Chain A
Amino acid sequence: MSLGYLERGYLEKDELPPFPSEERLKKRAVAYIECPQPIPCSPCFESCPADAIEMKNINDPPKVDYEKCTGCMKCIRVCPGLAIFMLRLRDDGVGEVTLQYEFLPWLKKGDRVKLYNRKGEEIGEGVVNWVLPPERNDNTSLVRVEVPAELIFEVRAVKPVR
């Protein structure tokens, strides 16, 4: 078992979970969970109403059945590891990434943000087009950002443009 990600602190391409099909990504948002390590944690599994997350025991890393996932966002609201991202490809060719956000100032719809990849490198700019405000989710805000379609598997953090 290669554990290179534990030397780096981020996942390389070959360590990522399988990608949802383009067809599925176009239908509606889908949960993409970057949680490769066996740790005793199961709130995503327990919160899923569609039975789309497979977990054999509490230490088993979650696997998402992308066809069963309805994009309801229950799991991303509770993930303590901030490891879940909702991904979507819109018909107009724009990609959308929804991520958990716990920093001040809180982001609002319309805010421009810098986009960062898993290594913390700046890879572009995007626009926030929806937020779940922090007060509605125990101070973990959900932020949906419009990004270039080819970056939905890259963008993993945002910071406001000053």
Chain B
Amino acid sequence: MVRVDHGRLQEHPIIEFKRGREVTIYFNGQPVKAYEGETVAAALYAAGVRVFSRSFRWHRPRGFFCAIGKCSACMMEVDGIPNVRTCKVYVRDGMQVRTQSGLPDAERDVFSILDNVIDKVFPHGSHYTKFTTSKKAREFMLRQMRKFTGFGNPPRAVFQGEAELEEIETDVLVVGGGPGGMSAAINAGKYGARVLLVDENPFLGGQLVKQTHRFFGSAKERAGTRGIKIGQILEEELNSIENVEVRKETRVFGIYSGEAGAYQRIDDYRGKLLRIRAKKIVVATGAYERTLIFENNDLPGVYGAGGVQTLMNVYGIKPGNLGLIVGSGNVGLILTYQLMQAGVNVAAIVEAMPRIGGYFVHAAKVRRLGVPIYVRHTILKATGKKSVEGAVIAQLDDRWQPIPGTERKIDCDFICVAVGLSPTHELLYQAGCEMKFVPELGGLVPLRTRFNETSIKGIYVAGDVAGIEEATAAIMEGRIAGIHAAVTLGYGGEEAKKELEEAVKEIEEFRAGPFGERIICGLEKCTLESEVML
């Protein structure tokens, strides 16, 4: 068994957890032990907190979900600032954290009774029609409703920090420091282009930081090497190129005809506004997790698969004792194996399709350890009051309907939803790139040339934001986008052009198998210069 202390894994077959200094944060006034380097959400989870917030109308309990700042289930008031995503804020000694909905707090909320009665007294949409007799009454009630729904209270004090503006000129701006972004920066930088890479996290690697398994692909793409290590290798390569600048904790909030606006955090009290003039912009913002519709899918204990990986593999926190995995794609299968490595049991994997979605070898390695895989099954509901206590699954018929009588209760204390990802496309959409909904690629994606340039000249995409695939493909796409950006700026000469052709050929070979069919089919629908139908 794996040793656990205060909710934290003390050992792991693959990862060595380096925890910082022990600090104390205060959660609704109560001291909670934490370690520097942990996020507030992770530290609270380790301390056994499961209810992070309450839903706006019904005051249903909401808990941890995505862990990477994409959902809003973990929003709390941190040091007086409301609506802070606690999964993105790192603990500091003495930090005051409060849940912002519920009376007296989210855990013990007396308004949770509303879950049963609110539709009778306050039907959906009635906040637009009620309390409209006078402006005063309306304003008063709006304030009350705001408090009631848990939007938090705006800080009373005026912002005292300093706001600096910095103007930057560069050849290539890369947004996102995951495998796709790092690869783009390396490949544009190595031919001499000045590159600025920004990432919202205090670390590079994107989601590679939680990929403890060895990667597939060929030796050239570092197959057989663990994802965490691939992240480190790419970062070292990036740092070795002089003309590449990296800025962490920097968020790009908009792209306006060749210029990008960004906010760089310097410390808790200071930040900088960046105006970045870039000749080329590579958007590599990744993806976020999808959820699934079933009864009680908002119950604390229903987590995104990636969220659990972050909790367990980045912060070394045990997510629970017995999990149920929904979805048998590679993420679900790999997560199952990783849970077992952390000493967590997995009750079952359920898959709605008639066959396993991920690689057979990933399925085989958990199957032989005794984890049942139920294909043509789905989850009907999660059970439990304030957190997951079990689940009900059922078999599906040919028309995807649950077959009555096949319901089966599964004991588990958490459920991982691993039903796929959607591209984080907002920045591209805002920039005005032509977008298209392509189910094969996971959702709304930009039209692009075979060199990954979007309909706006000079804006490129790489990685999951261009279509959900995997890290190896993201690295290959980043290479294509990076080299093409450099070449069109006049860097690299013939050598770069040759490498570009090679890179395009390699990714075509990579996608030539049955797992690439879906991607190719998706790409056909959104490739520019080949008669794209919108």
Interface residues of A (CB under 8 A from B): 3, 5-11, 34-43, 46-47, 57-59, 78-83, 102-104, 106, 116-120, 134, 138-140, 156-157, 159
Whether the Cβ atoms of A9 and B367 lie closer than 8 Å is yes
**A7, B214: Cα distance in complex, Å:** 24
Contact of B369 among A6, A11, A83, A157 (CB under 8 A): A157
**A3, B514: Cα distance in complex, Å:** 13
**A7, B395: Cα distance in complex, Å:** 14
**A78, B215: Cα distance in complex, Å:** 10
**A118, B223: Cα distance in complex, Å:** 25
Within 8 A of A (CB), among B492-517: 509-516
**A41, B375: Cα distance in complex, Å:** 25
Q: B217 contacts the other chain (Cβ, under 8 Å)?
A: yes
The residue in chain B whose Cβ has the minimal distance to the Cβ of A37 is: B360
Q: B365 contacts the other chain (Cβ, under 8 Å)?
A: yes
**A150, B324: Cα distance in complex, Å:** 35
The residue in chain A whose Cβ has the minimal distance to the Cβ of B218 is: A42
The stretch among B6-14, B132-140, B477-485 that forms the contact with chain A is B6-14
Contact of A46 among B12, B218, B354, B373 (CB under 8 A): B218
In the bound complex, residues from chain B placing their C-beta under 8 Å from that of A43 are 218-219, 223-224
Whether the Cβ atoms of A140 and B218 lie closer than 8 Å is no
Whether the Cβ atoms of B360 and A102 lie closer than 8 Å is no
**A78, B516: Cα distance in complex, Å:** 23
In the bound complex, residues from chain A placing their C-beta under 8 Å from that of B13 are 102-104, 106, 134, 139
Within 8 A of A (CB), among B356-411: 356, 359-371, 373, 375
Whether the Cβ atoms of B509 and A57 lie closer than 8 Å is yes
In the bound complex, residues from chain B placing their C-beta under 8 Å from that of A134 are 13
**Given A104-B12, A116-B368, A120-B370; 7 other pairs, CB 8 A cutoff:** A7-B355, A40-B217, A58-B217, A81-B365, A102-B341, A116-B369, A120-B369
Contact of B367 among A81, A104, A120, A159 (CB under 8 A): A120
**Chain B proximity of A1: nearest CB distance (Å):** 10
Interface residues of B (CB under 8 A from A): 1-2, 11-14, 213-219, 223-226, 229, 340-341, 343, 354-356, 359-371, 373, 375, 472, 509-516
Whether the Cβ atoms of B341 and A5 lie closer than 8 Å is no
Cβ contacts A to B, 12 pairs, < 8 Å: A3-B355, A6-B356, A34-B364, A35-B361, A40-B218, A40-B510, A46-B218, A59-B515, A79-B224, A81-B361, A116-B370, A139-B13
**A159, B340: Cα distance in complex, Å:** 12
Main DSSP-derived SS at the A contact region: loop
Whether the Cβ atoms of A103 and B341 lie closer than 8 Å is yes
In the bound complex, residues from chain B placing their C-beta under 8 Å from that of A57 are 509, 512
Contact of A119 among B224, B367, B509 (CB under 8 A): B367
In the bound complex, residues from chain B placing their C-beta under 8 Å from that of A118 are 364, 367-368
Whether the Cβ atoms of B226 and A8 lie closer than 8 Å is no
**A59, B369: Cα distance in complex, Å:** 27
In the bound complex, residues from chain B placing their C-beta under 8 Å from that of A140 are 214
The residue in chain B whose Cβ has the minimal distance to the Cβ of A75 is: B224
Known: A7-B375, A43-B224, A138-B226. A82 touches B365 (CB 8 A): yes
**Chain B proximity of A65: nearest CB distance (Å):** 20
**A43, B472: Cα distance in complex, Å:** 14
**A156, B369: Cα distance in complex, Å:** 9
Contact of B371 among A7, A37, A120, A138 (CB under 8 A): A120
**Chain B proximity of A39: nearest CB distance (Å):** 5
**A36, B363: Cα distance in complex, Å:** 12
**A27, B12: Cα distance in complex, Å:** 37
**Chain B proximity of A57: nearest CB distance (Å):** 7
**A103, B368: Cα distance in complex, Å:** 14
| Nearest 4 interchain pairs by C-beta | A59-B513, A81-B361, A120-B370, A80-B214
Contact of B359 among A47, A81, A120, A138 (CB under 8 A): A81
Whether the Cβ atoms of A59 and B512 lie closer than 8 Å is yes
**A157, B371: Cα distance in complex, Å:** 12
**A79, B226: Cα distance in complex, Å:** 11
**Chain A proximity of B472: nearest CB distance (Å):** 8
Whether the Cβ atoms of A58 and B218 lie closer than 8 Å is yes
In the bound complex, residues from chain B placing their C-beta under 8 Å from that of A59 are 512-516
**Chain A proximity of B9: nearest CB distance (Å):** 10
Contact of B214 among A6, A35, A78, A120 (CB under 8 A): A78
The residue in chain A whose Cβ has the minimal distance to the Cβ of B515 is: A39
**A157, B368: Cα distance in complex, Å:** 6
In the bound complex, residues from chain B placing their C-beta under 8 Å from that of A117 are 368
In the bound complex, residues from chain A placing their C-beta under 8 Å from that of B355 are 3, 6-7
Most buried by B among A36, A43, A156: A43
**Chain A proximity of B312: nearest CB distance (Å):** 14
Known: A41-B216, A59-B512, A81-B216. A11 touches B364 (CB 8 A): yes
**A109, B246: Cα distance in complex, Å:** 47
In the bound complex, residues from chain A placing their C-beta under 8 Å from that of B369 are 116, 120, 157, 159
Contact of A80 among B215, B356, B371, B513 (CB under 8 A): B215
Whether the Cβ atoms of B360 and A36 lie closer than 8 Å is yes
Whether the Cβ atoms of A37 and B361 lie closer than 8 Å is yes
In the bound complex, residues from chain B placing their C-beta under 8 Å from that of A58 are 217-218, 509-510, 512-513
In the bound complex, residues from chain A placing their C-beta under 8 Å from that of B514 are 37-38, 59
**A60, B225: Cα distance in complex, Å:** 20
**A5, B340: Cα distance in complex, Å:** 22
**Chain B proximity of A149: nearest CB distance (Å):** 20
